[in-house]
Amino acid sequence: MSATDTLLPEASADGGRRVDVDLLVVGAGPAGLYAAYYAGFRGLRTAIVDSLPEPGGQVTALYPEKMVYDVAGFPGIKGRNLVAGLVEQAARFDPVYVLGERAEHLTNEAGHRPRAGERLVVTTDKGTRIGTGTVVITGGIGTFTPRPLPGGAEWEGRGLTYVVKELAAHAGQDVVIVGGGDSAVDWALALDGLASSVTLVHRRKNFRAHAASVADMEKGSTVIVTDAQVDSLEGDGRLHTVHVKHKDGTVTPYQAQSVIAALGFTADIGPLETWGIDIVDRKIMVDTAMRTSVPGVYSAGDITEYPGKVRLIAVGFGESATAVNNAATYLDPDQPLFPGHSSDDPAGIGAAASS
């Protein structure tokens, strides 16, 4: 059974959905999926809630075909394959997925602000009530929306896209990529040789992408157009031409059946700001145990902040394990903080439960 096949429990007495677990993970990105695995390893019943309709968070939504090179043990792995592996890893403990629902309110069972030691209740925008002993927030950057290409709204679905779901969809096409960050350069590298032609348009001279990636792009066949921006799109039902305006005011037409606008995205952590958590610049402040300012609530991954923070998927994995282990001792102070290594258990599971 896949993550999206997992069903919610029956309706509660008040008519809304009710889920009861030991630990709730808010955010089904890589850090959240690993937290679900580790919570299961510690013998905790776990649920995962995410506003997106499928697991994977930003990786699934924005760059499923992108190669990720900084995950330990993988010289390179596609985003979608990394997510699939994490879902499979967590599946052995059968977490409950509450997908397509945003976590909105944090209260105790009586509907008030929770105090230390009380059971927590997280209510979603769809009315699902999730009762839990602890919460681990791994919301990445929160809810994110791609920045639109000016004047491009009417072309969405007719040649303009903000996400490359399948590289093969652009095979044999003339592709124009707009942007100067890592995503724009990575898509140019990935499509070079697969697309009929690749043109990258960036409004500045210098790129924000990794220097090594830019150097690789410059060695390839991508046509690089800097100090310029898309002026208009043209087509007859489907896109066929992109008009690019240069700094001197001249406009050059480029043949294109596809435009990929990699202009970044806006982020919003939304309802989390009402939970009483210490938040600075849309980041959740945590201590070395990944504790937030609210008892029983922990956080890990890109949404967290502390001195020396480094935002990498690999770092998020470690933070998730730290958060879950500390959450386990919050639930039961007699449990050890460190349950031992998974390799110590012949079955690879249940180390904590048998402690």
The annotated binding site is made up of: 50, 58, 63, 103, 144, 302, 343
* Residue 166 CB-density burial (10 A; 0-12 exposed, 13-18 middle, 19+ buried): exposed
Nearest to 299 by CA among 329, 274, 314, 279: 279
Contact 293, 275 (CB under 8 A): no
Contact 159, 259 (CB under 8 A): yes
List, in order, residues 6 or more apart from 154 with CB less than 8 Å away.
none
Please give the Cα distance from 64 to 170 (Å, whole number): 15
Q: Report helix, strand or coil for 37.
A: helix
> DSSP per residue over 68-133, as a string?
E--STT-S-EEHHHHHHHHHHHHHTT-PEEEES--EEEEEETTSS---TTSPEEEEETT--EEEES
Q: Report helix, strand or coil for 155.
A: helix
Q: What is the DSSP letter of 67?
A: E
Tokens in use for 10? 């029956």
Query: How are beta strands 46-50 and 96-99 bridged, if at all?
Result: parallel
Binding annotation for FAD: 50, 58, 63, 103, 144, 302, 343
Q: What are the helix (H) ranges across the chain?
A: 30-41, 57-62, 79-91, 182-191, 211-219, 313-331
Place of tokens 């007495």: 13
